[in-house]
Structures are given as C-alpha cells and as structure tokens.
C-alpha cells in the first residue's frame, strides 16, 4: 500500500495496531456480524492500548498526533478484516470529540475528553433526523432553555452505537429557524448523558455492519445541563463544519483499507481456484479488473494521504478531502464487488468474508455525506459552478 509516508513512528503505529487486530480475525467479525453483537473485546483492546487518544491533545491523555496518524490507524484496522464495523465501533471515540477539542472550555475538555480517551465513555453522534439528512439545518429537535438547563425533545435517526452509548454529541435547534438570519444559525451542540429515562432507542435492521448498531432515538424531555453545551449557543452547525474535512479523510482511509483487504482475498483465491484445469487468475478477465482495482485504490490512497498532510499542516484541504472520500469509496466498492465475483458462487457464502466487505462498503458511499454532495462541492468550490441546491 502506498499513500501515507511511513516514518519510524508511523510504522510502529501500523505494527502495533496490526498486532491487536491479529487477535480479532475475519471469523471473529463474521460471528459478531451474524449475531448482531458489539465487538466489546476488540474495543477494549484498542482502548487499553491508549489508541482512542491518537489525535487528541496530550494534556488530556492523548498522543497529540495528526489526522495522518489517525487515518493510518483506521486504515490498518479496516484492512485487517474488521472492515467498516471495526472502524465504526471506535470512530466516535477517536474523532467524534473534535468539536470539544476545538471549542470546549478547559473544564469541559478535562471532564469529557479524559473518559473518551480512556474508553470509559461510549459516545454516540446524534445529528441526522428522519426529515433532515444531508440538509442538516432543517433538523427539528429542539433544546429549550429552562433556567440552568435545556430540555431536549425530538428524534434522530441512524445514531450508531446508541444501544451501548452512555454519552451523546447532539445537535439541536435552540432558536427557531424563522427567527434566524440564516438557517445555519440557531443550532447548538451538546455533549451530555444519553439518559435512558428520557431517550428511547430502537435498533434499525440494516444491510451490513451487523456488529455495530444504528438506531432511531426519541428524545422526550431530556434535561441537559448548560455546562454540557459546547461553545456558544447557536453556533453548533459551524462547529460541526470544522470537522468535515478530517472526517472525510478518515472515512476515505477506512474505505480504502477494506478495498485492499478484498483485493488481497481475491488475488489469493484467483491463484488457488482451479477451473478448466488452470487457476482462474490466469484469465485476463480475472486479472485485469483486479489490476485496475489496485491502481484505483493506490490513487485514492495518495489523494487521502495528501489531504491528511494538508490538514495537519493547517492548509486548506476541502477539495482533496472530498475527492479522497469520493475516490476511496468508489475504488473500494469496485474492489469488493470484484472480490465477490472472483470468488464466483463462493463469494456469496459468508465463510469467504468478501460478501461481508461488500455489504459494508456501501456505507462510505452514503455516509457521512453522499457521493452526490461531494460532487456538488467539487463543482461549486473547485470549478466555480453555480450552487445547485
């Protein structure tokens, strides 16, 4: 794999993560996927190694490294066979606290970041709503000020890990949209207890990533202390925007990791499977799509590494981060599709694992932002075309 340049420190990160992941192979992930059971032991192993804090500030127990190192870590995890499930099981611990890191007070950072980094808290991320997906400013979950607290009512959809989470990073409207100068104003961000007395959590039956739940969550009078509001009231949407580029870089890294894993499985199988008296990998119709996938994954990985390097050096990286997410998700999807087809009928059997990768790799094409909206970004911000929505 090309992509992120490997310094001694990064090689050490990759090797340490690989050593952990080797304890949780394909069969572990397949079993959890089938049982819809959360990867508790794996998550604990990552937490015990201190890896949740890889890109968090050192004064709160993190390693203070960059998005480049976090991307390397998540790509290594994804390519171990854990695929998207293994990344999603820890993603919010690794990166979800970004708005707290940037906009939290020192008291909040100490109170919130330390248990996230130690893995004691399981945070979920509650932004998407049934009637407001990509158009985030249209969310209707309300947080109404009541003395020293807010009262939250509304509903969110797709909230991942909410079956186990004890904390929620929640976006809610604090000023009605018709009283705001712009729809992006009047939204506030909270990091607070996911108190089951006021929040009903219902799991969504979905295509893949069975080991990590996603949920409908209903908020009915959840009290949120004012101390749990991140930054200024009404600025929550702007705070989330800060994290979009690094988020896209990490999602690209994860997708590409899955793609490389699928490709490796396909190449191994193509060398071994004998049909018409010769290995199927001797046929160019098998070889060429796999060769093409290698080139596509490598190219996407270089874009991802470039975006990460720009972000870590404080340079603008919107075009590169969006392009990396798009290219990585497409290249990985094609690699997984080809891995299934290279395995023929056995590609459809769970024991060969490529069908699990295939089901999971649909996700980076849809979330956290769709491929269509990435293209809108490139069209408008890079090519200067008029905004289409």
For residue 227 the two structure tokens come to 């101390």
The 102-131 contact track toward ligand FAD, x by CB under 6 A, reads: -----------------------xxxx---
Q: Is 368 in the site for ligand FAD (CB under 6 A)?
A: yes
Closest alpha carbon to 296 in 327, 326, 261: 327
Question: How many residues make contact with ligand FAD (CB under 6 A)?
Answer: 23
Burial of 12 (0-12, 13-18, 19+ CB in 10 A): exposed
Q: Which stretch binds ligand FAD (CB under 6 A): 7-15, 152-160, 189-197, 226-234?
A: 152-160
If you count them, how many residues does the chain have? 389
Q: Which of 28, 42, 158, 358 binds ligand FAD (CB under 6 A)?
A: 158
Q: Please check whether residue 124 is in contact with residue 165, taking contact to mean a CB–CB distance below 8 angstroms.
A: yes
Q: Is 211 in the site for ligand FAD (CB under 6 A)?
A: no
Q: How far apart are CA 100 and CA 115, in angstroms?
A: 13
Q: Is 159 in the site for ligand FAD (CB under 6 A)?
A: yes
Please report how many Cα atoms fall inside a 13 Å half-sphere around the Cα of residue 238, on the Cβ side.
11
Identify which of residues 128 and 309 has a Cβ nearer to ligand FAD in the complex: 128
Q: Which stretch binds ligand FAD (CB under 6 A): 31-39, 52-60, 183-191, 365-373?
A: 365-373
Please report how many Cα atoms fall inside a 13 Å half-sphere around the Cα of residue 322, on the Cβ side.
18
For residue 41 the two structure tokens come to 């032991």
Q: Is 373 in the site for ligand FAD (CB under 6 A)?
A: yes
Q: How far apart are CA 197 and CA 172, in angstroms?
A: 19
Report the nearest approach of ligand FAD to the CB of residue 20 (Å). Answer: 24
Identify which of residues 117 and 369 has a Cβ nearer to ligand FAD in the complex: 369
Exposed e or buried b per residue across 153-168, where buried means at least 16 C-beta atoms within 10 angstroms of its C-beta: bbbbbbbbbbbebebb
Q: Which stretch binds ligand FAD (CB under 6 A): 49-57, 179-187, 332-340, 363-371?
A: 363-371
Q: Is 133 in the site for ligand FAD (CB under 6 A)?
A: yes
Burial of 380 (0-12, 13-18, 19+ CB in 10 A): middle
Site residues (CB under 6 A) for ligand FAD, limited to 171-190:
none
Q: How far apart are CA 157 and CA 155, in angstroms?
A: 7
Report the nearest approach of ligand FAD to the CB of residue 268 (Å). Answer: 29
Q: Is 364 in the site for ligand FAD (CB under 6 A)?
A: no
Q: Which of 259, 363, 364, 377 binds ligand FAD (CB under 6 A)?
A: 363
For residue 216 the two structure tokens come to 């409908």
Residues that bind ligand FAD (CB under 6 A): 125-128, 133-134, 158-160, 206, 209, 214, 363, 366-370, 372-373, 376, 388-389
């Amino acid at each position: 794999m090309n992509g992120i340049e490997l310094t001694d420190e990064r090689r050490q990160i990759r090797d340490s993560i690989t050593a952990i992941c080797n304890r949780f192979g394909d069969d572990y992930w397949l079993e959890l996927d089938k049982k819809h059971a959360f990867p508790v032991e794996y998550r604990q192993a990552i937490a015990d190694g201190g890896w949740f804090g890889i890109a968090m500030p050192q004064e709160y127990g993190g390693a203070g490294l960059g998005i480049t190192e976090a991307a390397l870590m998540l790509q290594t995890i994804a390519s171990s066979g854990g695929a998207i499930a293994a990344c999603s099981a820890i993603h919010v611990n690794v990166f979800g606290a970004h708005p707290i890191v940037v906009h939290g007070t020192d008291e909040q950072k100490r109170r919130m970041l330390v248990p996230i980094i130690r893995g004691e808290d399981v945070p979920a991320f509650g932004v998407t709503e049934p009637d407001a997906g990509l158009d985030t400013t249209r969310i209707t979950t309300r947080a109404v000020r009541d003395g020293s607290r807010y009262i939250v009512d509304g509903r969110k959809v797709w909230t991942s890990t909410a079956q186990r989470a004890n904390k929620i990073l929640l976006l809610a409207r604090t000023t009605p949209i018709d009283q705001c100068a712009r729809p992006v104003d009047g939204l506030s961000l909270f990091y607070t207890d996911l108190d089951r007395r006021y929040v009903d959590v219902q799991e969504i039956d979905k295509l893949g990533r069975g080991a990590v739940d996603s949920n409908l969550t209903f908020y009915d009078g959840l009290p949120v202390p004012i101390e749990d509001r991140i930054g200024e009231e009404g600025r929550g949407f702007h705070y989330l925007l800060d994290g979009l580029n690094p988020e896209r870089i990490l999602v690209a890294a994860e997708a590409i990791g899955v793609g490389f894993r699928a490709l490796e499985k396909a190449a191994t199988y193509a060398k071994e499977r004998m049909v018409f008296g010769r290995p199927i990998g001797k046929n160019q119709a098998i070889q060429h799509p796999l060769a093409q996938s290698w080139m596509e994954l490598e190219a996407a990985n270089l874009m991802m590494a470039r975006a990460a390097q720009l972000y870590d050096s404080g340079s603008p990286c919107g075009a590169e981060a969006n392009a990396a997410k798009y290219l990585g998700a497409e290249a990985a999807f094609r690699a997984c599709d080809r891995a299934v087809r290279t395995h023929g009928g056995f590609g459809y059997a769970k024991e060969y694992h490529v069908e699990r990768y295939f089901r999971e790799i649909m996700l980076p094409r849809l979330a956290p932002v769709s491929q269509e909206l990435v293209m809108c970004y490139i069209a408008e911000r890079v090519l200067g075309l008029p905004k289409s929505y």
